[in-house]
Structure 1
Amino acid sequence: MKIIVYGIKACGSVKKAFSYLESRGLKYEFVDFKTTPPDSARLKRWADALGIKSLFNTKGTTYRTLGLSQQSLDDSAKLESMLAHPMLIKRPVIEIVDAADSHVRYLVGFDEACYSEAFGK
């Protein structure tokens, strides 16, 4: 199993994910949105798997600063906004790649129950 965590190091939910994985001896790769933002194909895969609503971060500073709460954005506009401003993506996004068949599962945010189910620990 390969685990890739996407987000920013300073994010509280990302820190919780790191702590969860490390406390269970699970190795992971980290991709920082600030240095390596997701491309449109990856963002589309995440949106298809997780849904735009769960992926689009409406609680962060970027959302408020851009005044997006005052706009009526459709899913396409939300995707474009996340591409232009990766801090609009809820964090962390975790890709879990099954080594046996390359099947990929996705998690977004930090939810210990979901993590326990996904990682079996």
Structure 2
Amino acid sequence: MKVYGIASCDTVKKALRALDAAGHRPEFVDIRKTPLEPAEIARFFAEFGEALVNRRSTTWRGLSETERAEAPDRLISAHPALMKRPVIEAGEGLTLGWDAQAQARWLGKPGEGA
């Protein structure tokens, strides 16, 4: 299991703690220190589409209109903090965020680990 995110993100921290407590032993990939490969970004966009770009983030608000108009994959590549977090991958499964649905998928019960 891999968890993609940013080390300072509270949501990523909650997910990592809950996954570890559930016995998953996730491998954390800090996308600021280890930028995503183009193939990873493409795979995430194929799964989540535009939802992968966090348009409520401080980073998004700091972009110019010209930058916001760029292709989403280029935006994520240039500004990793724009990616909604975490992306959790295990086997063929991927989830985005740490909502009740993601928690149910990885922990077995909705609401745990929040």
CA deviation map 1:74-112 (0-9, x unaligned): xx7111111111111111111111xxxxxx111111113
Calculate the TM-score normalised by the size of structure 1. Answer: 0.79
Q: Does 1:64 align with 2:61?
A: yes
From the superposition, tell whether residues 32 and 72 of structure 1 become closer, same or farther in structure 2 (CA, over 3 Å).
Answer: closer
**Contact 1:94–1:107 (CA under 8 A) maintained in structure 2:** yes
Calculate the TM-score normalised by the size of structure 2. Answer: 0.84
> 2:97: which partner in 1?
109
Q: Which residue type is aligned with residue 81 of structure 2?
A: M
Structure 2 residue matching 1:59: 3-state secondary structure: coil
Q: Which residue type is aligned with residue 85 of structure 2?
A: R
Q: Which residue type is aligned with residue 45 of structure 2?
A: A
> Could you tell me the percent identity over the aligned residues?
38
Structure 1 residue matching 2:4: 3-state secondary structure: strand
From the superposition, tell whether residues 116 and 77 of structure 1 become closer, same or farther in structure 2 (CA, over 3 Å).
Answer: same
CA deviation map 1:21-46 (0-9, x unaligned): 02212111011011101011110001
Unmatched runs of 5 consecutive residues or more in structure 1? 98-103
Q: Which residue type is aligned with residue 105 of structure 1?
A: G
* Runs of 4+ in structure 1 over 4 Å off: none
Q: Which residue type is aligned with residue 12 of structure 1?
A: D
Q: Which moved more, 1:25-34 or 1:105-114?
A: 105-114
Matched residues, number:
109
Q: Does 1:82 align with 2:70?
A: no
Cα distance in 1 for partners of 2:23, 2:47 equals 26
Deviation at 1:117, TM superposition (A): 2.6
Unmatched runs of 5 consecutive residues or more in structure 2? 110-114
